[in-house]
Amino acid sequence: MSDRLLVLVRHGQSEWNLKNLFTGWKDPGLTEKGIAEANEAGRQLKAQGLSFDIAFTSVLKRAQHTLDIVLNEIGQTDLPVRQHLALNERDYGDLSGLNKDDARKKWGEEQVHVWRRSYDVPPPGGESLKDTLARTLPYYVQEILPCVLRGERSLVVAHGNSLRALIMVLEKLSPEGILARELATGVPVIYRLNADATVASKLDLAA
């Protein structure tokens, strides 16, 4: 039986995660902690004895840098990598670059909470989680899933909200369920799929 392996990793902590800023499509780098998280993700995958045939990431450098570090840790720096903006983080629009506390002062606690935690209400000029799903899921179905089902062991390093789109499908979560699903930075989630693309097994390496 082919090993239908799909591993998801959220990028390590970014400079703007640390500063409590809305990041979205802005492009800050990793912090020292983020680099350490990426190294640890690679070590965890190596300890599981995993190797890959292909990797996917976004066009944002915090995800790309995390992927580079992981591949270095597992000794696969020559792995084919596909980059696509479909895997980018949710676009926070007018909130991007703002401190979350400052945004609450400007628009109110309740409104900012709605933008952050509702499924289908976008911030001004940005995307809702539903919008993010609408661009991420077709890419998964058309590009990533066929590789997995062919037995190409696939690694996806992306962002909290774009990975939620994949998790929503894999774990058959409702809109309410996916809102409650937290993803730690730099922690691999290992799926093995059945031939019909459903999940045969899941291993979350969060401590």
Residue-level pLDDT at 84 = 98
Q: 133, exposed or middle or buried, with CB in 10 Å at 0-12, 13-18, 19+?
A: buried
What span, in angstroms and rounded, lies between the C-alpha atoms of 71 and 51?
Answer: 9
Residue 188 · residue 71 · CB < 8 Å = no
| Residue 172, token pair as written in the block | 């058959």
| Residue 125, token pair as written in the block | 């000029």
Q: Tell me the pTM.
A: 0.95
Residue-level pLDDT at 2 = 65
Q: Sketch out the chain's domains with CATH numbers.
A: 5-204 (3.40.50.1240)
Q: What is the pLDDT of residues 168-183, one digit of tens each?
A: 999 999 998 988 888 9
Q: What is the pLDDT of residues 191-205, one digit of tens each?
A: 999 999 999 999 998
Residue 25 · residue 96 · CB < 8 Å = yes
Report DSSP state, residue 196: T
All residue ranges of the chain with pLDDT < 50 are 1
Residue-level pLDDT at 179 = 85
| DSSP labels, 42-83 | HHHHHHTT---SEEEE-SSHHHHHHHHHHHHHTT-TT--EEE
Q: Give SS3 for 115.
A: helix
Alpha carbon 207 to its chain's center: 18
Which residues participate in catalysis according to the annotation? 11, 89
